[in-house]
């Protein structure tokens, strides 16, 4: 069975550009969460979606947005990229609200 899949695996952008990251949850999971992990730190919660509705939002600026599609896959969009947005972006899926299973992440580098 496929786990959580994220694409792309690596991405290089320049300041001011925008980026779209994609996530496919484990089959049967209806909830997707997004996290930002800066090197040397734990993941920071960005968004959670359940049944295509936003169920949680972390302390991130409005430049960050996300959505969930009818097939439960999700996109994370970041506009007007800053150097500080460079991080590993993790997607996690869950059937219920508790246990979350993570993908391998997308490594974003902003130059």
Partner 1 sequence: GQQLNQSPQSMFIQEGEDVSMNCTSSSIFNTWLWYKQDPGEGPVLLIALYKAGELTSNGRLTAQFGITRKDSFLNISASIPSDVGIYFCAGLINAGNNRKLIWGLGTSLAVNP
| Interface residue list for partner 1 (CB under 8 A) | 4, 33, 35, 40-45, 48, 55-59, 90, 92, 97-105, 107
Name the minimum Å distance from CB 63 to partner 1: 16
Residue number, 6 or 81, with CB nearest to partner 1: 6
Q: Which is nearer to partner 1, 30 or 58 (CB)?
A: 58
Q: How far is the CB of 102 from partner 1 (least distance, A)?
A: 3
Contact 46, 108 (CB under 8 A): no
Question: For 9, how many CA atoms within 13 A lie in the half-sphere containing its CB?
Answer: 1
| Residue 23: both structure tokens together | 């996530």
How much of the chain is helix, strand and coil, in % rounded to 5?
5, 50, 45
Q: At its nearest, how many Å lie between partner 1 and the CB of residue 109? A: 14
Residues 6+ apart with CB under 8 A from 20: 75, 76, 77
**Between residues 45 and 75, which has the closer beta carbon with respect to partner 1?**
45
CB of 29 to partner 1, least distance (A): 13
């Amino acid at each position: 069975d496929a786990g959580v899949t994220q694409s792309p695996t690596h991405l290089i952008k320049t300041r001011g550009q925008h980026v779209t990251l994609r996530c496919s949850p484990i089959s049967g999971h209806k909830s997707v969460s997004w996290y930002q992990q800066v090197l040397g730190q734990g993941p920071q919660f960005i968004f959670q979606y359940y049944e295509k509705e936003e169920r949680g939002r972390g302390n991130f600026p409005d430049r960050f947005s996300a959505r969930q599609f009818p097939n439960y896959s999700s996109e994370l969009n970041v506009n007007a990229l800053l150097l500080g947005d460079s991080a590993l972006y993790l997607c996690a899926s869950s059937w219920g609200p508790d246990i979350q299973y993570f993908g391998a992440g997308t490594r974003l580098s902003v130059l």
